Structure 1
């Protein structure tokens, strides 16, 4: 019964999100819509996500959108071009619109990920990299989180990796094989919402790697057999937390 009650709350939360009752309907990555053409979205989303660590996501993606609109520095979103560039040239371009905030570490990450993409793809881009693993998440996880992990700093971490898979599905329409392998991406808002729903104790709010793994595993177990994949609840949970946890009710006011 306890699990039935929990699932009922989860489904209500998803319903509230679909009805626009959680506010904040504009997600950070929406900043790219109408600016970055569909064929370029995989590269821009992937490289941008590689720096989406301990950052204000809205500010990051606004900076990325501004950088893309500047034709002089748009090359930073071309993995092949980045892999051939000098680190100094890349640094100046990334700092111009504050895509990079750390002048050394962030350009190094951007170049490493670009090189990893280029070497994993006959086409030298993200679309080619995904084609090389036949859009199979199991193969992609093995490549980016095991065999070539060092080439994908931050992006290979479980939180960013799984959210990247979700964002790629949402914005580029990629159809993943083994979609059930996309676990929830436990950032601060997800952790708080998980505790609020009673799925995990408040101890996990310490936010250690072990805590994040516990949250991801708890969601995987709780949703098993429900017809929902853990990543399906990510955005409703995230918005629910940002909105200050309005009551789980279909009558929630938009205010």
Structure 2
């Protein structure tokens, strides 16, 4: 491990924890009094994640929270209720607060995920994890290899790792093998990784940049007490704020 890099990462973490950047990460926007032990919490952080594609994450979670807190639209966070409604009703609820921006496609994605949970895991995210012994590796393999089509968008390389990170960070699920949660490679993480010199100019422009970033962080932290997701939020905010801090 490069000690200079480790010093920089620890410095970024200190800045993040101090609140200097003055803003929480997008997922911190959530309904009040949401119990991290509950199924409600797990489902809240699961279904909207599948819609987090090429859009502003802050507005996504604000829309998700508004939808959750409105008695007329909150049913979309109950997979069994979603299955009992017709498409138009679900679509109307998802678009009321712009949770679904692509009203047909994203409503279909939402319904498909609910269908997967209802048909296989009693409609519960917590049961889904329990079925796989709360093992990150087993869950990811099932989603990305065995039943990829049953998890539209959520099974993608970026979103799957991002979702697993959110489950680790915002729920009290007794997850194991959390060291196998790769860093979630959105544009801010990619930029921060490049800024730190962990990927080259050529790699940052490559269609395989997500693979390069994941590999770079695994290699960089090998032999330390850290795992890549330990720095997810700090790196994200550092990039979003324009790398203004000298390291």
**TM-score, with structure 2 as normaliser:** 0.93
Identify unmatched segments of 5+ residues in structure 1: 250-255
**Could you say which residue in structure 2 is the equivalent of 1:12?**
11
| Paired residue total | 245
Determine helix, strand or coil for the equivalent of 2:11: helix
8 Å contact 1:79–1:115 — kept in the other structure?
yes
**Could you say which residue in structure 2 is the equivalent of 1:61?**
61
Query: Quick one: distance in 2 between partners of 1:74 and 1:47?
Result: 12
Matches within 5 A, 1:78-93: 78-93=78-93
Determine helix, strand or coil for the equivalent of 2:47: helix
Please, which of 28, 31, 45 is the counterpart of residue 30 of structure 1? Answer: 28
Query: Quick one: distance in 2 between partners of 1:199 and 1:56?
Result: 26
Query: Quick one: distance in 1 between partners of 2:199 and 2:112?
Result: 36
8 Å contact 1:35–1:65 — kept in the other structure?
no
8 Å contact 2:185–2:210 — kept in the other structure?
yes
RMSD: 1.7
**Could you say which residue in structure 2 is the equivalent of 1:185?**
184
8 Å contact 1:117–1:126 — kept in the other structure?
yes
8 Å contact 2:31–2:68 — kept in the other structure?
no
**Could you say which residue in structure 2 is the equivalent of 1:216?**
214
Identify unmatched segments of 5+ residues in structure 2: none
* Aligned-pair CA distance for 1:153: 1.1
* Aligned-pair CA distance for 1:3: 1.8
8 Å contact 1:24–1:239 — kept in the other structure?
no
8 Å contact 2:188–2:236 — kept in the other structure?
yes
8 Å contact 2:25–2:237 — kept in the other structure?
no
**Could you say which residue in structure 2 is the equivalent of 1:252?**
none
**TM-score, with structure 1 as normaliser:** 0.90
Cα 1:82–1:100 shift into 2, 3 Å: same
